[in-house]
Chains A and B, each alone.
Chain A
Amino acid sequence: MIPGSFEYHRPVSLQDAIALLVQLGDDASPLAGGHSLIPVMKTRLATPEHLVDLAGISGLKGIRRQQDHIVIGAMTTQSDMIASPVLAETLPIIRETSLLIADPQIRYVGTLGGNVANGDPGNDMPALMMCLDAEYRLAGKNGERSIRAREFYLGAYDTARRNDEILTEVRIPIPPEGHGYAYEKLKRKVGDYAVAAAAVMLTASNGTCRTASIGLTNVADTPLFAEEAARALVGTRLEPAAIANAAKAAEGITNPASDGRGPSEYRRKMAGVMVRRAVERAKARAGM
């Protein structure tokens, strides 16, 4: 219940924050909302000697439209995203997903950056960002770079972010109006991580699916981008057989852990069920 000791830093600029991470090296952790890190520190499974609080850095919060992209600052909270009219209009799937994360209190403090950057396979935003083909902007000692969400996740708690880097914002291409979307999450109760969850985005015209994109949450040690499953939908009328193919393909790439949520075989099958249900809802939203 009681964390180990650490030194606390609250830089006021991104440069200062990066300098601190460079100087302190592996002994330091950046601190965003803290609602993933602090619980782990309380069990003492994580004992960083330094915390670099990012809350004092201006410019890391906010949601704005930049031509055909939405840019969300990494320190934007789930609650901010839920309330955003810009997102409601352009990317309603984000709000739908946020509302399924944790509980109201945690959503007030938990950030998008924290949720996508810490590599916890249970987090919901990573699979969604893969589905949306989001790009993460990182700033570090070597300057800034972008990396696609689809390339960011290497293993459990293992991402492409270097220790001196801070995720500053997420850029998401705005999908066409009238797109179909759904985030379907099976969980034991509110506040729990997913037994399995699926993010689905698709577009359709003339009753045919033109593009599709599927991400899977918590059914492997990283979020999964289900390419083959999505391909199984493209060019079809999203009839039951096509959806069943997509679900089967999705199941095929999963490797879920067995835990209190169920044995791996169950969770694998639930990934399929979530894909099926998400596609059905996305289909209806796309007017098919």
Chain B
Amino acid sequence: MNDMTPTQAERAGKLEGLGCKRKRIEDIRFTQGRGNYVDDLKLPGMLFGDFVRSSHPHARIKSVDTSKALALPGVRAVLTAADLKPLNLHYMPTLAGDVAAVLADEKVLFQNQEIAFIVAEDRYIAADAVELVEVEYEPLPAVVDPFQAMAPDAPILREDIKDKMDGPHGKRKHYNHIFNWQVGDKDGTDTAFETAEVKTKDLFVYQRVHPSPLETCQCVASMDKIKGELTVWGTFQAPHVVRTVVSLLSGIAEHKVHVISPDIGGGFGNKVGVYPGYVCAIVASIVLGVPVKWVEDRMENLSTTSFARDYHMTTELAATKDGRILAMRVHVLADHGAFDACADPTKWPAGFMSICTGSYDIPVAHLEVDGVYTNKASGGVAYRCSFRVTEAAYAIERAVERLAEKLGIDSAELRMKNFIKPEQFPYRSALGWEYDSGNYQVAMQKAMDVVGYSALRSEQKAKQEAFRRGETRELMGIGVSFFTEIVGAGPTRNCDILGVGMFDSAEIRVHPTGSVVARMGTKSQGQGHETTYAQIIATELGIPAEQVTVEEGNTDTAPYGLGTYGSRSTPVAGAATAMAARKIRAKAQMIAAHLLEVSEYDLEWDVDRFKVKGLPEKSKTMKEIAWAAHNNLPAGMEPGLEAVDYYDPPNMTYPFGAYFCVMDIDVDTGVAKTRRFYALDDCGTRINPMIIEGQVHGGLTEAFAVAMGQEIRYDPQGNVMGASFMDFFLPTAVETPKWETGFTVTPSPHHPIGAKGVGESPHVGGVPCFSNAVNDAFAFLDAGHIQMPHDGWRLWTVADRLGLHA
């Protein structure tokens, strides 16, 4: 050892491992316009597909005349349900055990539903051909109100299953009913409510919205008829699942189906399921023997691909008069649209809505969910929701506010009183989840201190009095939200997608000269996996992150995984990465022992090398070991330095956070201005703080949009409204508030590196925070619960109803 020997800290710094604000690898190509997105793909002979879509929300199809379209020069084919029926592909199975139409057969069930697929030489000809297809409809009455869907005389929507009263999730109560799902102790809960001193009951509507990534859904399908192999490039958050589904639907053996997700321009859960566009492009390619590209436009994306939410949640809390919550009872009417294509793990038709007891120690609870069909596009689970956790968090965080109002207690204080305590972890909730770790009080107090909570409440009181005196026309609201969310799906014993357990995987190979290639079963759509997985490997293996290439998305080379959504990459594939790396390090330790001629038990790991205990100058770096792994091994050991791990998580992970928002509302216009937003997140071990902060900014911005004006609406006749960026509220940099972020670290005890995942948290916690701020602003005027979204005109209407404009 001499002055030139780098210190441990210097060597760790060079690795850019866990905890480092490592700059992103992806940025190098993205900032130069060298991303590789699906629509960038151009293959020889490639054709272009486009849909003819229904103008009616509910109608019988009397005829489809494609002759004029077929006659247009440059049109190569027009597919209708009649062409798909012999292949049994006019319907496809959904992730929720239902079927969904690929091309409408006999009837259409929502406006813009796919009726025919044009295949033409370029997208301009395809667009012209779409106009030439003539469809004759017999309109039927539409159902767009889920409460009306189960009326005794409601129109029958799903004639294809009208006699099947045994659904995939049990008995169906009505021809428009999908499932009834219950969890918890019904009798115990009812008893608690009967005897409670204080009760609240509210209907919280979480309006239909849409993930709207900036890149729409698209694919290129290319059938090689000579080899009998199909290659599909697409916007797939779960490419392996798509491969399995495509193989099952097409009959082509899975090893001959090559699914590739290249760069994806945002997913947010919009790109998990299989859409008619993918199926039609694949069929067209198989039939025509040439590549077929399908790219949807924005209006198609917003009005037909997987929507999010549309949950009507009757939420009740029972409590003592000094604010101890005793029970929670929730009934949800879930509007699933025309097909149940909800992207949930199989056993969970309502996702993880049962996390609705939130961060509170509620002894008994009952949740019941009824799913219904309506004449709307299908979906439900999407948009950074962690499988309905956005809905659950909204229900509990609004309910706690309503309880605080009723009791006359400060809502932050009420939360503190009811938080699960640190010593209660791992905590078994009344609805069956085992929360891994949490320290809620510390996080809450820290956030309250940062925002100066009591000073804000004093300011608010003064402003309320000023308002009453007519000195101001602004209402000040303080939004509080403390969420616990559940991510990292999940243990295969209860989490599967179409029967495939929700494990994930990592395969790591170290080259002789010490650099690494690693592949995972997840697929980033902006989360920075090429950067962050390398950081995990860097810390585990002592090889600098910039020597590690991470690949995802090519199902030929990546080990099987269930993809990226629901913040599962870090908890599951991140764990697999650490475990695979540790297998390599274990082998490396034996090779080092062999090289140093000591026992492996005499070695200790020091950042990037093994050294002999007590003799630190006798060491071997991982780089040296990598070389030796290819030529100098202990007797009987196979050469090479690689490992694969398929990680079946023992549990979900439970990130949490404390969010505070200050809002000022102009009662004369209804316009709300966010004065301040502070988000404290605990996602356990923090792999890359820069990327975490970016995820939080993005999730909060989406939360802001959802709470403050975003909605996909249907008029009573079933026409979809707001399916363009003219009306679908996406804030610009001007409306978007500035975000302040902070953190605490409570590692997950069951995760190899203690990390929990963070991508969805800001959205889960952000929406109730904004909505609570709005509601809090009006609460002193006894406004009752104010439904989202909180557009200007809606808040003005509330103010008008309260007589504030007189």
Residues in chain A within 8 A of chain B (CB atoms): 1-2, 4-5, 44, 103, 186, 188-192, 195, 259-263, 266-267, 269-270, 273
Contacts and interface: CB of A to CB of B under 8 A. Distances in A.
11 contacts: A1-B127, A1-B298, A4-B128, A188-B709, A190-B734, A260-B726, A262-B796, A263-B793, A266-B670, A270-B669, A273-B669
Contacts of B722: 260
Q: Which of B298, B668, B731 has the most CB of A within 10 A?
A: B668
Interface in B774-800: 791-793, 796-797
B792 A190 contact: no
Nearest to B298: A1
Interface of B: 123-124, 127-128, 131, 297-298, 668-671, 709, 721-722, 726-727, 729, 731-732, 734-735, 791-793, 796-797, 805
Contact of A2 (B124, B298, B669, B805): B124
B793 A261 contact: yes
Contacts of B726: 192, 260
Nearest to A44: B131
A205 B796 CA distance: 37
Nearest to A191: B732
A190 B736 CA distance: 11
A1 B805 CA distance: 43
B199 to A, nearest CB: 34
Contacts of A192: 726
B705 to A, nearest CB: 10
A190 B793 CA distance: 17
B738 to A, nearest CB: 16
Nearest to A274: B669
Contacts of B805: 269
A261 B731 CA distance: 15
A2 B122 CA distance: 11
Given A1-B127, A263-B793, A266-B797, A189 B729 contact: yes
Contacts of B792: 186, 188, 195, 262
Nearest to B131: A44
Nearest to B670: A266
B791 A190 contact: no
A5 B128 CA distance: 9
B384 to A, nearest CB: 21
Given A188-B729, A260-B721, A260-B722, A2 B127 contact: yes
B735 A190 contact: yes
Q: Which of B124, B298, B668, B669 has the most CB of A within 10 A?
A: B669
A82 B791 CA distance: 30
Given A4-B128, A189-B729, A273 B668 contact: yes
Contact of B671 (A4, A186, A267): A186
A215 to B, nearest CB: 20
Contacts of A267: 793
Contacts of B124: 2
Given A4-B128, A5-B128, 20 more contacts: A1-B298, A2-B123, A2-B124, A44-B131, A103-B732, A186-B671, A186-B792, A188-B709, A188-B791, A188-B792, A189-B734, A195-B792, A260-B722, A260-B727, A261-B793, A262-B791, A263-B797, A266-B793, A266-B797, A269-B805
A266 B731 CA distance: 22
Contacts of A269: 796, 805
A49 B127 CA distance: 17
A75 to B, nearest CB: 26
A19 B128 CA distance: 30
A263 B670 CA distance: 13
A54 B660 CA distance: 54
A188 B709 CA distance: 9
A271 to B, nearest CB: 12
A261 B729 CA distance: 11
A152 to B, nearest CB: 26
A2 B131 CA distance: 11
Given A260-B727, A262-B792, A189 B128 contact: no
